[in-house]
Amino acid sequence: MAQAHRLIRAAAKEASRFGGSWLLGIAGGGLCGAAMAFVFGTLEGLSMGERAETVNVGLFYGAALGTIYAPLAYFWFIRKIGLLRAFWPALIATLTGGFVGMFVNTFLAVPLAVLSCFGALAWTAEKHSSPRLKVR
């Protein structure tokens, strides 16, 4: 009976971690998409109304991409390193990759943002999974 309780508790803990990661991926993706759309609208010289529409579109597509890529990031990286360790590198890399892609070619903004996010998560996972940390 105690084994079943431990199993249920572990499953509930994993589900809550996944859910939190997923929600944070949606919010973070929307925030990054809105920020990149705002900068793009400002650089293009759009009026305030057009810029607000552009930010809404960036928010929507960023949140949609966060919905898709957050579960992948969780199962590949975040589960191993933790959500708090993964948040800042992922956010900074996503914004940096998106802005670099936006200045190089507008169509490269989203792929570079996603790739740089996963690259930062892979780097963080590698950095925090050294053998000396796994000693028990």
pLDDT in tens, 12-48: 888 888 888 899 899 999 999 999 999 988 888 888 8
Looking up tokens 């579960």 gives: 71
**Predicted TM-score of the model (pTM):** 0.81
Q: Which residues contact 101 (CB under 8 A, 6 or more apart)?
A: 108, 109, 110, 111, 112, 113
Q: What is the pLDDT of residues 75-134, one digit of tens each?
A: 999 888 888 888 899 999 999 999 999 999 888 999 999 999 999 999 999 887 755 545
Report in angstroms the alpha-carbon separations of 106 from 40, 44, 47, 91, 97: 9, 12, 19, 19, 12
Contact 87, 110 (CB under 8 A): no
Chain centroid to Cα 85, Å, comes to 12
